[in-house]
Structure 1
Amino acid sequence: METTELLKRVRRIEIKTKGLSRQIFSGEYQSAFKGRGMSFSEVRGYQYGDDVRNIDWNVTARSNEPYVKVFEEERELTVMLLVDISKSSFFGTTKQLKNELITEICAVLAFSATNNNDKVGLLLFSDKVEKFLPPKKGRGHILRIIRELLDTRPTGTGTDIGMALTYFTNMVKKRSICFLLSDFLTDGYEKPLRLAARRHDLIGMHLYDPRERELPAVGLIHARDAETGQMQWVDTDSRRVRKHYADWYNNNMKYQKSAFQKSGADSMSVETTEDYTKALLRFFKGR
């Protein structure tokens, strides 16, 4: 993308999403996430009513007296955006592509975080890590995140959510709020998801186009697989073909739902045709 056009698009997204984050989401973001991050402060003697889960067994064993760990609220949080930019994200049959929707949602989340003095980091992935920006504060950093979302094209040829989660877990040691944005049209990430959710407050955001759920009957079409580039003829009038397509989508969604439930992580879905502001508000208020 030409630099001038890129800067114009960054500015348009900033104007739209910065306003939304200030007018609508800042209060919801704060109530949904502030107070969830806790850091270790000290140990003290056990008192009646203390949570036994906070007992420091090492200190207790050395002193022969029960001691508990004391935690304090972390006023500054870290927000990580893990974004699937595999080639299937550059798909859309409605008013916007999936990756355009992802960019706007990421911008809203990033500006909401920075309005609350939190750091924001970015990890872009396909079947490999395409870009990693460590968490930082400030408008300039948020604008760079938007530029990378708009301008980075995948060099990988597939999607590997498990690999991205493993990389994230290894790179970000401090507990963070992690938004994982993907169409989740893959599997094999249950274990890395569970490990990441143990350490971080992890939220999966499923972004999808309505045509991904159901193939329309429009006759014989010459279709290209977005990730492999393979071309093939598809008879969309065939009920068997349409059922196979729908089953593939539904199986991926069942896997995603099961994986998130088992990990204890939250998840939500946003269709490219709906108002994502309403979907985000429902999610924030539900927390």
Structure 2
Amino acid sequence: MYMDTTELLKKVRKIEIKALGLSQNIFAGQYHSAFKGRGMAFSEVREYQYGDDVRDIDWNVTGRFHRPYVKVFEEERELTVMLLIDVSGSLDFGTTGQLKRECATEIAATLAFSAIQNNDKIGIIFFSDHVEKYIAPKKGRKHILYLIREMLTFTPESRKTDVGTGLECLNKVMKRRCTAFVISDFYTRKDFSQELRIASKKHDVVAIQVYDPRAKEMPDVGLMKVVDAETGHEMYIDTHDIRLRRKHNAYWEEREQRLHETLFQSRVDSMAVATDDDYVKMLMTLFEKRSR
């Protein structure tokens, strides 16, 4: 995707201002409570106080000072966050003023800034029907801006989709538990349930589906030329035909049901965002749900 330097800098800055503002003001605290650290880590010892758990007594220190001391633990907060971003051709579609790819980029950027606000590392796997690029997790604003530039300018080799390849890569490159957001329209002809099951057992996986509202309900606009973004196949359809529109809607519902069943069976939290939805409210709902 070609973009001159001035235009690129403007887009990066615009996304940074919006995403950073959201992560600082709206998601403050919610991201922290929704995505837990790796557990509890030893912090220090202090003298035993009434009500302390006797199981936390440090017997070595207690024996040395001849009075009881307990170990103090704190949450090992640092996370590694991976963004698995679909860069296939079907994301280059939009009928409501924004492409699915643009919506996905804003969501990914917001999550990225939320992560660095909590001092978490963040990395990216771009995937189509194969892994297009892997960027190792790091911390810091400079790294985040690099990731956003890549989201805006990356040109994939393939226009097809296989979500399973992204998940398989995640399982290979991430040896320790991480939080992984899979951001895709999930227009894939290949079953990815096995890769998802393996990933969800090892990592905290969250699926974010981005879709165009016209994919859910076909409008009555007469004769229309449609192109398969992944195969390039072209054809004309008569959207005035109510049977065609019903068939299209039924196909959408069936596909969504299969996707929901796949995610549910792997116990993966998810949300579906239309390009004309307020994704901020939907992310907040997701965070609140996970915090309960």
Contact 1:78 1:119 in 2 (8 A): yes
Match of 1:215 in 2: 218
Q: Which amino acid aligns with 1:74?
A: E
CA shift at 1:73, angstroms?
Answer: 4.4
Q: Distance in 2 between matches of 1:247 and 1:126?
A: 26
CA shift at 1:191, angstroms?
Answer: 0.7
Q: Distance in 1 between matches of 2:149 and 2:183?
A: 17
Contact 1:184 1:253 in 2 (8 A): no
Q: Distance in 2 between matches of 1:168 and 1:197?
A: 11
CA shift at 1:241, angstroms?
Answer: 2.3
Q: Distance in 1 between matches of 2:194 and 2:138?
A: 28
Q: For residues 132-151 of structure 1, what are the alpha-carbon distances to aligned partners after superposition, in whole Å with 9 as ceiling and x for unaligned?
A: 10100010110011111111
Q: Distance in 1 between matches of 2:239 and 2:74?
A: 58
- The question of 1:30 aligning with 2:32 is answered yes
Contact 1:207 1:271 in 2 (8 A): yes
Match of 1:277 in 2: 280
Task: Please report the RMSD computed on the Cα atoms of aligned residues, expressed in angstroms.
Answer: 1.8
CA shift at 1:103, angstroms?
Answer: 0.8
Contact 1:185 1:252 in 2 (8 A): no
Q: Distance in 2 between matches of 1:72 and 1:153?
A: 43
Q: Distance in 1 between matches of 2:34 and 2:77?
A: 14
Q: Distance in 2 between matches of 1:250 and 1:154?
A: 29
Equivalent residue for 1:94, pick from 93, 96, 102: 96
Q: Distance in 2 between matches of 1:263 and 1:129?
A: 22
CA shift at 1:181, angstroms?
Answer: 0.6
Match of 2:118 in 1: 116
> Between Structure 1 and Structure 2, how many residues are aligned?
258
Matched residue SS, 1:26:
coil
Contact 1:177 1:202 in 2 (8 A): yes
Q: Distance in 2 between matches of 1:143 and 1:239?
A: 47
Structure 1 residue runs of 5 or longer lacking an equivalent are 42-49, 51-70
Q: Percent identity?
A: 49
Q: For residues 179-224 of structure 1, what are the alpha-carbon distances to aligned partners after superposition, in whole Å with 9 as ceiling and x for unaligned?
A: 0011112250111011100000000011111101111121111211
Structure 1 consecutive aligned stretches of length 4 or more whose deviation exceeds 6 Å:
none
Tell me which structure has the larger Cα radius of gyration.
2
Structure 2 residue runs of 5 or longer lacking an equivalent are 43-54, 56-72
Change over 3 Å in CA distance of 1:86–1:39 after alignment to 2: farther
Q: Distance in 1 between matches of 2:215 and 2:40?
A: 42
CA shift at 1:39, angstroms?
Answer: 7.8
Q: Distance in 2 between matches of 1:14 and 1:40?
A: 33
TM-score, scaled relative to structure 1: 0.85
CA shift at 1:244, angstroms?
Answer: 3.0
Q: For residues 14-69 of structure 1, what are the alpha-carbon distances to aligned partners after superposition, in whole Å with 9 as ceiling and x for unaligned?
A: 0111111111113110011134x23899xxxxxxxx9xxxxxxxxxxxxxxxxxxx
